[in-house]
Structure 1
């Protein structure tokens, strides 16, 4: 039954008037959308094609094909709309509202009673029902239309067409939607587009940062544009009515009979003219093409060097549009090298050092100054003449010719003569490994008398190990790149130990700082180096005053630093003297500065005499154990030297024992290793008995069996020392015992190899034993430091005794109260061992990443050696 059928009682539909009208409008929108969406989609696409001038860019056949395709799509969309569209009626709106309400009140209000019309009770119920439905009509609301067509358009083509239309509005011309005269080139005709009949843009390259030029709006006739700019032309109207005449691109003119292009883009490659011919009036512009100049770079001062070898190279780079990146390539300047001594041989090939130049993070890169800062003090080219080629590249990938800087590659300054000699031999080894024989001879000369020339026992043992490994590698012609780098690293480590001193208290650090400063003044060091050494002296002076104050508190007295006349000396007075020394140095009055420095050090010595008599006592058990392990390590090094010489003599049977090539003992005789002077009976006990040296001194009367017995005695001595080792129960102490156990096992393997005449295998085992001994000593030192820290405040006497020890067995500096290392709180409350493990794991992870540069991975591997 129709929803507008005649009801059997009066009905008031006034409440439905407004909702029904709104719903009817929504039905119109819904049916138009569902029927006509293909039509306006096709219309938007056609409009976009015409507004963007696509037909003008297509060949004639393709343009006709596109036109026919567009017309066919338009006809299909009209047929689709005709079949799908039907005009909505008022009754459709009421039915839509009725479907959304519970009980369908509109239908019920307009309905008639089918049965029971003669029954009064039935009629009362029917009228009550219709009254409720009539009341419910007041709740009617307009129904929203369903405008979704996603099921009919699953690929959202309507939105794609809308996007194209938006692009046409922004970049096309809605008033000039193309001309169908393009499809009929021979018919002539007039341009039907409104406004100008042509459009021209000039768009500079993006890296220039210059804006685009719309020539239709340009009032001047002379323009400067960068080379490489895009010249875009659009000609509207009948084909051939307008023509472009340009000489900036170098393109050939349109051949006779060829259809002229109406839309194209060309590059501005040179200066010339751009002219539009035809139309109401001709238009022409004179274009000046601006060449992109090459970037430039130059050193902005001298290469600066700090005491630690850090290099600073200031430079200035310019470009008309901006520098993109740059490099500094460091190569050996062989012609400027003083080819004497170890540098007389031809150098081995060395890869050039390539450093990335720092660029400004923000701001203009057209003209800027920066500084290359790098520490290359450990590189083989350090301290040698080099050439630094500076190159920069701009955004157009143009690179300048290299700007060359000739200088000496900065390296660390070593003022200690022994350290300087070790660095020189390291340089010669990295220059050419054929210098190995000469290097071993010089190193043996340097280590002739370690008590007088080597302030560090660890440095001496490191050099001896380097000599052994270098001679063994040279004997078998196996000085590989890895072995060369390993020995060079050992020499560097020994030199830095000697130069830095590894002194144990503030007084010794102060004396070392004074000596370094005096030598720097004599050698004419730079003002920057003098400033750094003065800072080092000042810090050592401050540490000394703090130590004197601490000693006075531990002794139960309030003491004051005094000179010989009993006058009190304050820290301010000492600082004033330091400032005066620095002022004299800056004024070039070196002799007066040296005299004042000597006076200052004399005052320091007097202060030491006043305070130095306190805290003397017997070495602690830990110190005694450490000294014993030092002796064991030294004797193991001597046994290793003797075994190596025996191995040399096996391969040179024609020579007398101990007279092999380059076989010189520490005291100058042939065939004597580090411990050749010790009597057999004292080797196992770590004694210091000296045997009278014969004239030849070259005949080893102990033989292989004697060497094996001495190795066994040394192992027994190590076992005895382990029983008295302190630090039991602590993690550091247990680690020291474990390392010494490994050392004992390695000694046992060396003893068995010596008894079986397997000297090469014995050398390897002895090397393992020495490494394990060093590790055990390091762990024992940490255990002693932990015990001293735990006992601080309750064992002041033991702490005062530790302060008087000049240097710990591992060559590390001591602070106040016997604490090893820096007195500053570097950890700020965190667990040092945990942080060390985390750092070691991170370094190990990075060293295994193959994508990292080789020089970085070599550096990480050297860091791992320290762990």
Structure 2
């Protein structure tokens, strides 16, 4: 059977390899273990006795392994290979074909069966394949000695040379043989490790130019007599004198470009170029940015020819740029520069990268103060690069609640200088004079009084580092509680409204109770959304919605639609569906984030620009109110200083007694009622005729207030004609805000800062109410437009639940109002619609018309 020759032959070769590996693996293991040290040149370093002992042990082990392998080696035969191929096939067809019939040889039927069986087996032999040898010897080498030997040999190949094995002949033939064969040399150039470049073997590099990094180490090893070769080089700075190379090793570093010459038999000459390490480079790529919580982000770029090792950012106070007013007038306590580690890439190339320095330094003494930022990077060679000192305001957390901002300002003054401790205590007493108007909980007031007592206790003995750190931390925690407490209170109110509504669902409340609870839920939702919006800075990117697959966008009109649907389901008695929708609303409110921006891809809603302008006016009015408060505060401080000058003759014990008496009153300053008298504006002559404090450098407060009032009037006149009661309420709130601004303007002109601040507070409240009502009117307008155009998933012609016509009637099953016919002929439809809307607005504003008619006109405006 010729088709069996190739599988059997290949199987026999595999069996030969299998037997050789199993019998001679100790032989090549010992060979690798003996050859690796010779290739590494150990024979040139170790004593001669050790080399001879190693050679003897290695030779004996090699011969023993050879004899052991020969005694166990067996040359496989063709029969054995054929039997292995046959055993791999089912039924052993090869043996079956070679068999003869033992019984039934005279029976024709039995003979026929046997012949059929032999034919079937002969056909099966055609599928014979060569059998792979089993080269695994883990059972014979359980400790993996063969792998250790291979590892040693591969290491010798990488870092050694076969030429070193030839030096063993010196041991056998003696020194005369080495002299007869002439000197032998080897050389390597090892660049600095940080470059990542491989070592160069000089024996493989021909004469000519050779470029290597500066600082590379040259190693030359010569085997032979003294004077066989001499070294001439000017790259290390040692001079160009010829240095005879003895039997041994010569090392030096390449510092300069020059020549490297091995003079003598088989010598070479290279023109070496030392590639200098370029210094690193770092720069700020964009201005610093920060979010509302004070987390700053400073992008930068760093480059180096081999890679940046480390970097730092140094932030130092820019004292010349500080506005030295109020608590900053005193000389500051020493503030050490703030040093931050720059982020470095964990993986990848560090030769060029862009990164961001992200930190939150809101609690640092330099927060919100002018500083200089300087970046410094260092490469592996120790070279550094720095950026120019960049002046900036170190970002800190933004506080929107006025009292929280005042507490943070006093905290900053205390960290600026401990000499401000008395002043900080007095101001904290002054701003907490009427706690009911400021604090939402008694806990906050008690925390403030505790801080004031701690400050007073440090006065007689002075404030140390531990006391300052404790007071500063307490002020920060109080400011955070004041700032975040408003949002937490709004969220708690929303939660209570949801719980009351869920309880009403379970108990089967009446329609009147349902309407009352739904109104409470709507008001709590509006307040919560307004708080979220106040804490969201426009365009800062901190409150942008997630772009993940699970993210979704909802407008205020969508929330209103969900609450309307809940109320409708409850009135219909479908409590289970209302409960499910209520849980969905609660989940949405928990994950709510307020976003500000373009508002999507659709057209902008009427009033969005007005909301942005009013928000800007609100911020400007808040800044103006803060400036007025600072002027009042400055007048208070100067009056206090004048009184202290008059009382310099008093004894310290008397002053402390007066302070202790003032502290017994929970709402009075250090001097009891005298503090209020000292803080009255005008006593120290600090206010001019226009109401501007002497410390103000931003223009007349009166003129700024007048400009804000005129701007608000322009914005009020430019408001869109939003329908519904919310639109009218928004206009009324803006009217009240304008009146309050006018009162503040008159108070500033008369020099009464306290009255001006009160009127400005009324203007701020009216502006916030106007913005909230304007947003509600915009949401109602969007809801009406959505119901007409069939957006938000409503199919065309499908009735929206609860939708009514202008007369208050149900719209029916179709949900359509009006006619599809063109009843205007060839007139301009848009112009005619605008004229009709203007006429309806004019008539709805006429108070002499009956209330029924004006109510009808308002419903028309609400629908169209």
Question: TM-score, normalised on structure 1?
Answer: 0.48
Question: TM-score, normalised on structure 2?
Answer: 0.48
